[in-house]
Amino acid sequence: MLAIPQTKSQIVMNEQIPGDEGYQGLKIIRAQTNPTAAEIFNANRYEFQHQHGVYTVQRATLCKKGITDVADTEKQRIVVLLHPTLQTFTEIVRYDPSNPPKENYHALEMSQAHVLTQSDFKGQKSANKEMFKNYILEGVYGTRPLFLPVISGWQSKSVFDKTIFVAFDEEENDAMYGLLYLPKSPVMQSDGQTQTAALFAVADSKDASAKNALQRLRLTLEIELNVNERKAGQSFADRNGRGSKKNRNLVIGLNTAEPISDLRIRAAQETIFEKRIADGRSTGTTETATRNIVDLSTMEQMLLAALTNNRYKPEQLKHFHIDRLLPYAREFLQMLEELFGEQWAIATPPKQDPFRKLYIHGWPFALKGIALAYYEARIDKLGPIAAAISMKDAGKTQEEVFEEGVESETTYWDKAPKITFDELKDRLGKVDWLRYRKHWTDITGYKVTKEGKKKTFKLKSTGEEKVVGQAQNTAGSINLVKNKILSPNWDGLTLKEDEKV
């Protein structure tokens, strides 16, 4: 048991601890290599050991990050890495970027970063916070493993002289393990801002309380010490301004834990789409590549259009939504197979053109337009589900709110389908889907040569010359397809007139 000092004279005051020149003047107690320091620490005789209201104490690794042997130590980065629980994380960070505490940010040399944060955390970023919160709650409920990235933050230079590190393992001078005494001052994020806001939201939720997430959820936090606003700005710019976007289809394909992925896989089972969705690694979905019908990104967008009228992003679907949506997802894909499956040949028959060269229904914009039309035909069933997805009630779990919302919306739903599902199938089956028909070029336009003339090709089957229609995957084209299918004069899509060469 640690001894309790009897008089104030026995206490070693914080100002008596020398700064370590190799760590920009950070106060370091080298308990492994300095027996006297270890004895004082073990006797509980340092002032900071009694300042419980001043410090948060955590086991951590202290290191010089980046190039460690630069002559100017101000160009080094002094970082601590720790693994707190969610409760300790909120106590350490304190700064919720979407709802920050009232602090004197000017005195903390954080005022510019604070203003930029508040300006930035609106609109889509605020919506992203809700998506990340839902992802974390799925892990808390055990429906998926969590792969949370390291949150990188910084603490102001103004409290650096109060920061103290007690080193227990000094084998490597540039990376020491020990006990961190971190001043209770906000930690502002240089990377992981949305995740941080989501974690604060999780900590305040009933779901977290019900599942003891404050103690069960453990995170990784990297804090850069001795940072001024100029350094903080450069750190943020370096982290976010380099590199390029990842392959979206590859990411979707690897991210099988997402609810939308579960929905896609189960909906496509034993349909023509199974094993015929491009994943970013296999062949794509060009005009001549017939192995795959659509890519993963297109399939996600088709399902969201068919099931929610594009009201939500993939990240907003949760696992408990899937059972409600799955029957309609399967019905939609089975309808497409029944109508077009024979024309979506993997191997193009001899003396025939590949299906995307011939048919509108081989292209994403048309499939998405059909998906939106399907939603309208099933709005009496899907409308209540889509409405319930966005409902919130702080006094209930998200699943409780959703299930009760579906029942309530279904009871009072008064929007009738524009056309029935059977009528939709009948119309789609009668449409002439050849790209070179005039009714399609009126909607999509046609390609032109460098000379401004209509671009043409010859059918391999007959040798006839036909105009090459456009197949642009734009919101305008998608909505034109949907509106035409649902309109009273839809039968204009059944005509056999070609665009004139």
User: Do residues 51 and 143 both lie within one domain?
Assistant: yes
222/187 Cα distance (integer angstroms): 10
pLDDT higher at 3 or 440:
440
In a domain, residue 306? The reply is yes
Residue 297 lies in a domain: yes
**Residues in contact with 106: Cβ distance below 8 Å, sequence separation at least 6, in sequence order:** none
pLDDT at position 1 is 45
pLDDT of residue 75: 72
Instruction: Tell me the pLDDT tens digit for each residue of 283-310.
Output: 788 999 999 999 999 999 999 999 999 9
Residues 6+ apart with CB under 8 A from 148: 136, 195, 219, 220
- What percentage of residues in the chain have a pLDDT greater than 70? 87
Residue 244 has a pLDDT of 45
Task: Tell me, yes or no, whether 284 and 199 share the same domain.
Answer: no
User: Which structural domain, as residue segments, surrounds residue 431?
Assistant: 248-378+417-494
- CB contact at 8 A, 359 and 340: yes
Q: Do residues 231 and 263 both lie within one domain? A: no
Could you give the CA distance from residue 185 to residue 333 in angstroms, rounded to a whole number?
A: 54
Q: Is residue 404 part of a domain?
A: no
What is residue 234's predicted lDDT score, i.e. its pLDDT? 67
CA distance 340 to 270: 16
Regarding whether 218 and 269 lie in a shared domain, the answer is no
Cβ 407 vs Cβ 400: under 8 Å: no
231/254 same-domain check? no
Tokens representing residue 485 in the block: 């299918």
Does the pLDDT of residue 437 top 80, yes or no? Answer: yes
Measured distance CA(230)–CA(242) in Å, rounded: 18
User: Binning pLDDT at 50, 70 and 90, where does residue 83 land?
Assistant: very high
Residue that terminates a domain, selected from 203, 221, 240: 240
Give residue 32's pLDDT.
96
First to last CA, the chain: 95
| Shared-domain flag, residues 104 and 229 | yes
pLDDT band, residue 252 (cuts 50/70/90): low
User: Total structural domains in the chain?
Assistant: 2
Statement to judge: residues 189 and 305 lie in one domain: no
Q: Which of 209, 234, 207, 217 is nearest to 77 (CA)?
A: 234
Looking at the whole model, is its pTM more than 0.85?
Answer: no
In a domain, 223, yes or no: yes
* Spatial distance between the Cα atoms of 156 and 88, rounded to a whole number of angstroms: 19
Q: State mean pLDDT over 52-71.
A: 89
346 and 219 fall within a common domain: no
